[in-house]
Amino acid sequence: MLSRFSDVLQTAADVLAPPATRLEDFQYHWKMIIHFYQNYDDNSKVHIEDTRIPHHLHQMLQLIVEEEKEQQGGTVGPCLEAIVQRSVCLLDALTALAAADRPPGARSLALTTGTALLRRTRQPCVNSAHVYRPLQRMLIQCNENPASPTEKEEVELLLTLCGLVRKEPGLANIFTTPFVEEKSSLLSIPEDIQRLIPLKSKVQTPKKNPLFEVEMAPNPMRNISLVRTNSKEDNGAITTSNSSVADDNVSCKSQKTVYEDNDKFLLIDLLLSYLNSADNQVVLRACEGIMIVSSLPEDDIANLVTSCSPVCETIIEKLAEKYKSVPLDVDPNDVDHLNITWAYVAQDFGDKGYNRFHGYRELTSFFSWLDYCDTLMKECHPAIASHLSRTFRAQFLEAAGELALGSARSATLAAALLAKCLRVVDSQELINEFSNWLVGDGEMSEWPLLLVLINNCLSDDHDLTLETLRFFETIVEKGTEHSINRLVLSRVCSRGYYSQQPVLEEDERDRLNDVSLWRERERNREAMKQLQHEDHVTEQINDILQHEGLETKEQPDTENIHRIINSFLLLLPRAVLSDPVGSDYEHYIHDAQRHYQLWLDVTSNFSWPSDQNCGDNTASSTHSYDSRPEADIHMNEEFQPLHQTMDHKDTWIKDHYPMDDNNHFSQKLVLRTRDVNTTAVEEEFDEGPFFRMLFKLLSNMPYQPYQVNLHLTAIISKLALIPHPYLHEYLLNPMLPTSKKTPTLFKILQDVARRLTMEIPRIKNYKKVIESTRLQLMSEDPSYDDRGDHNQLVESLIVLEEFCKELAAIAFVKYQHGMHMHG
């Protein structure tokens, strides 16, 4: 009964005195704010949170948001229209409060309210002069005082404006110096606002605001007419109930603008000033804003950023500073274990428990900034990306290279840091700059850094050798066509390693098949076990071939791949093998298949010779992946062809040994053999500094630490996987005819195996030592490396054994791929 009576009374009251409209409420709160400042004592120390100002501003914002929900077709409601028409000078008032900071805390409140207004309204009407001019004035409040207590609010305002510009790129022109009012008007509070909010404080000229570092023509706005553009034409246009709003609007123009040399893009330049903030959250927000602005699709804005803004230089300079701040005594092993992204660095810094090792904070800071540079490179406009990559090389890589030329300690750390840098970056521009910086474009002797790094691998300091090998391993993994050509293929592509052999030298595999030797070995028990081992390996190979659909009966030419695989798997005698059964060989095959497919994808667009065109003048095509000596592609026309005509698939796998003593070749870097019955005069093949270093380390395997040998063989395995016909021939063809002085991978492996076979049996209980060492290595116990009782000789034996399995698997996978391609 009482509720009904109350409703009746309320209805009667509404008839006599209708409730206020939203606009009336909006004007009421505005008048209350004016009333407060009309009676405000400038000497009062009352904080603004203790006044009603926050409440009134909040209510005004709520009214704008609520009325916008009811509007249709993108029309502007009465409350927002009042701001656009400037009948309610809210934005100008916020600018005045931010400048004066009266009462204390008003600056933070004004910036927060301005940010909320732009974020919470779907159509903030930034294209209106009565909206963007106060925003331009508010920009000069940003970074007025370094490390100000309101820098969070300042950077949030800038980030909000960046978001608006991303939605409508044409708005970017509003925040470039040609479209900004003259400085005197920006530094002064409008007279009507001074009368409404009479504050004694005046706006001071900011010392570090980029707007005040250039000279501008007076009143450029007078001659500019900006028109809002929208891809949806009339459907997305903003309309108002009063035509005077449209008349007063001076909105952003998306037409191409001709900028002068001293012009500025205020948003990005202001954001740069927050990169040195002590608050990491502020830095992150500034980074987000820079990324948003850099990704704008407009070419004129991108050109303005690259030509008139120091953004690229500032970002890379900061990266170089963080790199130099890493302590020289940081453990290189700790570098490789880091997994840092720029978005989460602030959380790490906020937790003291994350300081897990010496130099953690410096390393985290550096790699987080590198990740930001990499992300920015992938997101920004191509023109900015190009400029940023050039700056990356000039200001960072060149400086980092100087550290690699220093002492052994600094060179070790530099190699570890650069390897990690290249490993974590994804943008192709940065990878290209890394590669070009290392290998250059001229003669190899013109690039001392590369030669220094190669020499560091041959240092007596095993730590330096290990870290530099890791760096080269990363270079190969992330290799570009240019870097692989320069570093690996520059000498191999000449096929200067190839030499006609009229009489084949007897090698260890031929000796095993010699009848007289076989009869002698048959009487020896260990020799019989060796034969059984070889038969077992052959059976395994046959099983694998049949499992992969390459049965021996159907493919008689698979005899060649048998010879290749046997050459690697039987390199070491059974007596010293740690795993005679070879149970993990299939694992190596599956691993090689996966990695080879990755290389095929990476090099699919490289301009390398394919197996179809690597033989220019041969009578029939020669496939490069058959793992046997290939025909000389430089055969003279007047000589008889080396090959006999055969089916395409047969050609792919047949041996091409010289069948006629009258066949002579002309080969680059190899003198033509005029008479095979006389001593051949040949030029010595120069494998290049990179392969020379690898082969020297490989021959020194028995005397090197396990980790060095592991990374050394990993590099060679990756090189063997590269789908280049001549590199494949050079590394994976044990029967390749070469001169005695020409180093090849298989020759060096034979020499190392021979030495190990002689030295290992001299160890007491060597079989048990081999077995126990293998168990420890395969267990991957992290404490194993810290022990001092390592037997390097046995460790190198196990590494060589597994390396031979890996090479055999790679040769088989390439053979399999070639058969499928030509089947």
Listed residue (707, 535, 729) closest to 632, CA to CA: 729
Q: Are 173 and 256 in contact (CB under 8 A)?
A: no
Residue 335's domain spans which residues?
318-479
Question: Which stretches within 677-744 are classed as H helix?
Answer: 688-699, 706-721, 725-732
398, 534: one domain: no
38, 100: one domain: yes
- What distances in angstroms separate CA 248 from CA 131, 221, 264, one per listed residue? 11, 13, 26
Selected residue with higher pLDDT from 822 and 215:
822
176, 263: one domain: yes
Note the pLDDT of residue 662.
35
Residue 52 falls within a domain, yes or no? Answer: yes
Residue 150 falls within a domain, yes or no? Answer: yes
Note the pLDDT of residue 73.
67
Note the pLDDT of residue 705.
93
* pLDDT interval class at 387 (50, 70, 90): very high
Q: Of the segments 207-211, 304-308, 632-636, 733-737, which one has the largest average pLDDT value?
A: 733-737
Residue 123 falls within a domain, yes or no? Answer: yes
- Distance (Å, whole) CA 152 – CA 283: 9
85, 191: one domain: yes
Q: Are 753 and 800 in contact (CB under 8 A)?
A: yes
- What distances in angstroms separate CA 467 from CA 332, 478, 681, 793, one per listed residue? 8, 16, 41, 22
Residue 10 falls within a domain, yes or no? Answer: no
Selected residue with higher pLDDT from 224 and 677:
677
Note the pLDDT of residue 353.
52
- Distance (Å, whole) CA 400 – CA 59: 56
Note the pLDDT of residue 540.
59
Across the range 453-461, mean pLDDT stands at 93
388, 473: one domain: yes
806, 720: one domain: yes
Note the pLDDT of residue 137.
84
How many other CB atoms are there within 10 angstroms of residue 192's CB atom? 11
Note the pLDDT of residue 686.
87
215: pLDDT strictly greater than 80: no
252: pLDDT strictly greater than 90: no
Length of the chain: 823
H helix or E strand, kind and range, residue 653: helix 648-653
pLDDT in tens, 575-618: 888 886 666 778 899 999 999 999 999 999 998 887 644 443 32
- What distances in angstroms separate CA 222 from CA 89, 301, 357, one per listed residue? 22, 22, 61
Note the pLDDT of residue 649.
34
* pLDDT interval class at 147 (50, 70, 90): confident
What angle in degrees, to the nearest 10, is found between the helix axes of 766-778 and 792-822?
A: 60
107, 209: one domain: yes
571, 708: one domain: yes
Q: 222-228 long-range CB contacts below 8 Å, 24 or more apart?
A: 224/178, 224/179, 224/250, 224/253, 225/250, 225/253, 226/127, 226/173, 226/174, 226/179, 226/250, 226/251, 226/252, 226/253, 227/251, 227/253, 228/127, 228/168, 228/170, 228/252
**638 exposed, middle or buried (CB, 10 Å; 0-12, 13-18, 19+)?**
exposed
Across the range 130-155, mean pLDDT stands at 82
* DSSP symbol at 585: H
558, 415: one domain: no
For the entire predicted model, the pTM comes to: 0.77
Note the pLDDT of residue 418.
94
Note the pLDDT of residue 476.
94
Listed residue (524, 298, 332, 469) closest to 412, CA to CA: 332
Q: For residue 52, which amino acid is it?
A: R
Note the pLDDT of residue 813.
93
Residue 499 falls within a domain, yes or no? Answer: no
| HEC per residue, 505-537 | CCCHHHHHHCHHHHHHHHCCHHHHHHHHHHHHH
pLDDT in tens, 534-572: 555 566 555 655 555 555 545 545 678 888 888 998 898
* Cα 688 from chain centroid (whole Å): 29
List the single range of 166-170, 493-497, 581-585, 732-736 with lowest mean pLDDT.
581-585
692, 771: one domain: yes
524, 469: one domain: no
474, 515: one domain: no
Selected residue with higher pLDDT from 531 and 421:
421
* pLDDT interval class at 361 (50, 70, 90): confident
Cis preceding-peptide flag for 103 (omega within 30 of 0) = yes
Residue 448 falls within a domain, yes or no? Answer: yes
Residue 63 falls within a domain, yes or no? Answer: yes
Number of domains in the chain: 3
Residue 105 falls within a domain, yes or no? Answer: yes
Burial 133-160 (b: 16+ CB within 10 A, else e): bbbbbbbbbbbbeeebebbbbbbbbbbb
Note the pLDDT of residue 689.
92
Domain limit, last residue, from 434, 458, 479: 479
Selected residue with higher pLDDT from 645 and 278:
278
Note the pLDDT of residue 102.
86
